Structure 1
Amino acid sequence: MPHIDFTLPHWAYWLGLIIFPVAGMILARRARPRQAGYSAALAYLVLVTGGILGLHRFYLKSLLGLIYIPIFLCVLWGNAQEREARSVLSDATNLVKVAERTLERERPRLATAEADIDQLRAEVAAAEPDSFAKKSAERRLKRAEDAIVTGRDRITTAEAELVGAAPIAEAAGKDRAFWANVARYAFYTILALMAVDAVLIPGLVRRADALAAREVPEESLIDAETAEKAAQIDPDARKADHEWAENWIDRLSLFAGEFVSYWAVIAVFVYYFEVISRYVFNSPTNWAHESMYLMFGMQYLIAGSYAMLTESHVRVDIFYAPLSRPKKAWVNLLTSVFFFIFAGTLLVTSYIFAMDAVAVPSGNSVVSDWARGQIGFGEMLGGLSLRDWTDPAIRWGEISFNEWEVPLWPMKWMMFVGGVLLVLQGVSKISKDIRAIARGA
């Protein structure tokens, strides 16, 4: 199987976290056609991303996509057997190498010891009885005899291991080559089918649209009466996001929540790429997992204000839910003290973490020196250039410890941004509660 040696550039990661949500928000606001149909562009996107599983066929309501699944399973099975054979081959090869090195080392030692044994015996026989020279000669003779016995044992063991491991290594090498070819040719078969489908997609789209036009539209699973009862139980249950916004802070929180929600879609693509790279191409990445848990950490922090605005946080409503709006406002005001203690602590500590992350000198000392207070802000700006941001050989600020070495300071600054949004939303909520108390409703 071919290998994928792709490593996501740092600039592409951070730029993708900005461009992808913007594109998603633009597409979500497009005017939708009255009659939904199938898109050739989307079909090609599915072909590129999930074509090896035949997902483009399933999207276009074609059961011929089932042909892809057994072939793809052949790829997975071939790769699994190839990895197992590779492990057996590696173990057997190591045994062969160790045995060969043992034979190379012990055979000359044994030959030397056997050549010297007669001379040592003669020295023992010639030495005066009970003398120091005789005892010394006997000790040398004993060491030589022990060395001969040990050497012969080691040589016998090494020869046995060599005889046993060599056929295993040869068989494992053949198995590895066979299963690698099985996976390779199965993969090439999938690529051939995908190439054919790439030509057939326009016709498949027209066929799927024709089938959809003949289908009877399904009735809504929730009728008007059920929806009205649900609204009476919880007026906010079916409340649209835009209905929560009453001021610019609320709109900012809604924008932040919608923006980072599209990051979850990025995770689908990245983890899909990781699984395919690992199990199809035997090329696990060193960046997928780290990039995603950093992204989800930032998403959690930035979406906090959105969750607070839409009352999505978990709380105990046994006593709170039955209260009237003014009483709820009083409860909110009293408990807001604890909220601002938490939010203020988050804001201050995240700012300290962010500045400390920038202050780490890991290459370009201009920004790091400014963060440590050694130079002024203007001097720092004057020393910056485009190369400081684009040259991969230049790093500044805290970076991760694995091979990807992604800068961590942007993520820590997002902690501070999340704290700012949370504090602002808390101020907005207090103002609403005060108005509710003043109006009595």
Structure 2
Amino acid sequence: MQILLRLADRIDRLMDRIGRLTGWLVVAMIGIGVGNVVGRYGGKLLGQNLVSNGLLEAQWYLFDLIFLLGAAYALQHNEHVRVDIFYKTLGPKGRAWVNLLGTIFLLIPFCCLVLYYSWGSVINSWQIWEMSPDPGGLPRYPIKTMILVSFGLLILQGLAEMIKNWAIICGLRSLPEEQHDPNL
């Protein structure tokens, strides 16, 4: 079990790094968004087009990356949406069971379905070097690839969560502090 716990810790460290990088993408997205607004209104004043479709799409792509890459990080830090009608009344082992079963029967199968049904679209996008239909737009295939990457990372973090929850059930690890919050 110690080998599995070390693996879970390594996955957690990877997701932490990705999460911190994703935080910087928020700053970049805001910067591009501000630039787009300034360019739009400044362009009207100057009678020039100071905004491009590429910059608008870059802002959308960054938002996509934040959402897609942030999912595994949110799961790791227990910041995902939870319907906690019964969860908040459970003790640490009960919560670990809910988390473990939810990961096995809901999270992992959902991620596998998304990967299965997205695969063809992503491959097709790469085969045709899909581009935005808008003039000056960005290529679509890299951002579509991130669907596969992000759900792969979500499965990886789900495996780490399964290991950690099994360790809690077996009494080898305690529940993280944020899950002990009585206000859940």
Conserved in 2, the CA contact under 8 Å of 1:302 and 1:415? no
* Structure 2: tracts of 5 or more residues without a match: 1-6, 175-184
Match of 1:420 in 2: 152
**Is 1:402 equivalent to 2:134 in the alignment?**
yes
Alignment partner of 1:262: what SS? helix
**Is 1:286 equivalent to 2:48 in the alignment?**
no
Write the letter of the residue equivalent to 2:57: E
> Equivalent of 1:273, from 10, 35, 41?
35
Match of 1:346 in 2: 114
Conserved in 1, the CA contact under 8 Å of 2:42 and 2:50? no
Matches within 5 A, 1:345-384: 345-360=113-128
Give, in angstroms, the shift of residue 416 of structure 1.
Answer: 0.8
Give, in angstroms, the shift of residue 353 of structure 1.
Answer: 2.2
Match of 2:181 in 1: none
Match of 2:67 in 1: 300
**Is 1:260 equivalent to 2:22 in the alignment?**
yes
Stretch moving more, 283-292 or 308-317: 283-292
Write the letter of the residue equivalent to 2:38: I
Deviation digits for residues 43-67 of structure 1, max 9, x if unmatched? Answer: xxxxxxxxxxxxxxxxxxxxxxxxx
Match of 2:78 in 1: 311
Alignment partner of 1:265: what SS? helix
Conserved in 2, the CA contact under 8 Å of 1:350 and 1:413? no
Give, in angstroms, the shift of residue 398 of structure 1.
Answer: 0.5
Alignment partner of 2:88: what SS? coil
| Whole-angstrom distance in 1 between the partners of 2:37 and 2:77 | 35
TM-score (norm 2): 0.80
Give, in angstroms, the shift of residue 268 of structure 1.
Answer: 2.1
**Is 1:320 equivalent to 2:52 in the alignment?**
no
Give, in angstroms, the shift of residue 298 of structure 1.
Answer: 2.1
Match of 1:67 in 2: none
Give, in angstroms, the shift of residue 418 of structure 1.
Answer: 0.2
Write the letter of the residue equivalent to 1:406: L
| Whole-angstrom distance in 2 between the partners of 1:263 and 1:400 | 21
* Structure 1: tracts of 5 or more residues without a match: 1-244, 361-396
Deviation digits for residues 313-356 of structure 1, max 9, x if unmatched? Answer: 11122321231111111112222211111111122233322211
Conserved in 1, the CA contact under 8 Å of 2:71 and 2:150? yes
Alignment partner of 1:358: what SS? helix
Write the letter of the residue equivalent to 1:421: L
| Runs of 4+ more than 4 Å apart | none
Greater relative contact order, per chain length (Cα 8 Å cut-off, separation 6+)? 2
Match of 1:251 in 2: 13
| Whole-angstrom distance in 2 between the partners of 1:255 and 1:320 | 29
| Whole-angstrom distance in 1 between the partners of 2:118 and 2:20 | 23
How many residue pairs are counted as aligned between the two chains?
161
| Whole-angstrom distance in 1 between the partners of 2:157 and 2:120 | 22
Conserved in 1, the CA contact under 8 Å of 2:15 and 2:157? yes
Deviation digits for residues 121-170 of structure 1, max 9, x if unmatched? Answer: xxxxxxxxxxxxxxxxxxxxxxxxxxxxxxxxxxxxxxxxxxxxxxxxxx
Conserved in 1, the CA contact under 8 Å of 2:8 and 2:161? no
Alignment partner of 2:89: what SS? coil
Give, in angstroms, the shift of residue 305 of structure 1.
Answer: 0.4
Alignment partner of 1:399: what SS? coil
Structure number with bigger Rg: 1
Give, in angstroms, the shift of residue 257 of structure 1.
Answer: 1.2
| Whole-angstrom distance in 1 between the partners of 2:20 and 2:117 | 26
| Whole-angstrom distance in 1 between the partners of 2:168 and 2:33 | 46
Conserved in 1, the CA contact under 8 Å of 2:8 and 2:159? no
Conserved in 1, the CA contact under 8 Å of 2:108 and 2:158? yes
CA distance 1:350–1:252, change in 2 (3 Å): farther
Give, in angstroms, the shift of residue 246 of structure 1.
Answer: 5.6
